[in-house]
Amino acid sequence: MRTSKMLRLRWAVAALALLAAGAMADAPAGASAATRNAVSLQEAFAEAARRVMPATVRVESPQGQGSGVIFDPQGRILTNEHVVAGARELRVRLADGRVFPAKVVGSDRGSDIAVVSVDAGAPLPAAELGDSDAVQVGYWAIAIGNPMGLERSVTVGIVSAIGRHTGATGSATQDFIQTDAAINPGNSGGPLVNILGQVIGINDHIISRTGENSGLGFAVPINTAKSVARQLVATGKVQRSRLGLWFEELTAEQRAALPDLVADTVPVRVSKIEPGSAAEKAGLKEGDLVLGADGHASQGGADLANRIQLTPVGGEVKLAVLRDGQRMEVVAHPEAAPPDPEAMRLGVLLANVTPELAAHIGQPNLHGVVVMRVYEGQLAWRSGVRRGQIITAVNGQATPDVPSFIKQYEKAAQAPEPVKLTVNGETVELKG
């Protein structure tokens, strides 16, 4: 694992050196080393954009528009599920201005990834898909897309975090790349790119008080998107896997006390194992510390859960485990996960109300969940729930965070009485 990272680093350094060699000729005569370096970096950004922009498209429907990226010259395009959800017809506008009708090959709300296709009659320029497992905090991040309808816009930032869990429902895959590259409405489905012009993520959503960029953008890792796309192309749907166990995060102090922990590893503790589950059959035990899976160092519970979910049913996942101070490898064979819970079919993306948001709206003691996105045509939309609203209870039972909302909603959805949400202090009855 360290060797492959070193090779990627050397490759990146070599690529930048080549870019610098070409860019120095454009630097003014007698320019300082700092100026020459700045020109070299500028050219690196420009070259990365030039490599990906021909493959960046605009996805249009009567409901709105988003972005996408061609990953197969035969016309297959990655985008977000929420960009195409409920669309009666789709069009794709290519970088050269041509417009084609498009069809949905398959979509997956759990990852918010969809594959659409067009028939252009000839091969199309396809972007190079990178390796999101190689992404590290602090790396450059370039977002390309069509924000506010402004086609093929490019913004630059860094990778702010990896393995980020935004506390959202409507997305079973909680393993986002966080970036401060500007992402706005219309960027959804477009590529997040590294300095070499390789796609490392599919831009997905933001957290903002205004609905516009606030420096908190999130992208689906491209390795997740690739895994989902393979299933969508093959079968039109995604079958998730499970081991039947729960993780809990360690504190910084607990991590620091672990012996010889590999740098950047975020281990998790197995807190519960279902009797008769794949985890129990594999020999995992409560209290085990999981350090990684399939040769990849753990980036936390979200990262591990994602790797397990996207392992083929009956396949093999190799877990690096620390038990009673002894390292070992546990081989598990995931089983099929059950269908999506009712809370996902509600058609909303939720996040916890943060103390900062509560203070901003003048209610510092407020606890609840904020609606980040509503899927048009779904139950919540039909009932009048909209983005930016805050839900504090389900059928009178408080929902101070996303897990409690899911629990209360699942319970309420099984009862014969209508489900009633407390939204911005008012009662909203869900109407099927």
Which positions are catalytic? 82, 112, 188
| Element of type H or E holding 45 | helix 33-52
Cα separation of 329 and 318, whole Å?
A: 6
Quick one: tokens of 272?
């519960």
Are 295 and 350 in contact, with CB atoms under 8 Å apart?
no
Cα separation of 352 and 367, whole Å?
A: 8
First to last CA, the chain: 50
For the chain, count helices (H), then strands (E).
Answer: 11, 26
Identity of residue 122: A
Closest to 189 measured CA to CA, from 99, 301, 104: 104
Cα separation of 198 and 343, whole Å?
A: 35
Looking only at the bridges linking them, the beta strands covering 113-117 and 76-79 are antiparallel
In eight-state DSSP terms, residue 222 is: H
Quick one: tokens of 159?
């990778």
Cα separation of 310 and 289, whole Å?
A: 21
Q: What is the DSSP annotation of 119-142?
A: --SS----PPB--GGG--TT-EEE
Cα separation of 431 and 384, whole Å?
A: 9
Cα separation of 119 and 111, whole Å?
A: 26
Cα separation of 267 and 417, whole Å?
A: 43
Closest to 174 measured CA to CA, from 344, 423, 56, 342: 344
Classified as helix, coil or strand, 241 is strand
Give me the residue label for tokens 């950047």: 264
Give me the residue label for tokens 């996408």: 68
Quick one: tokens of 376?
């048009």
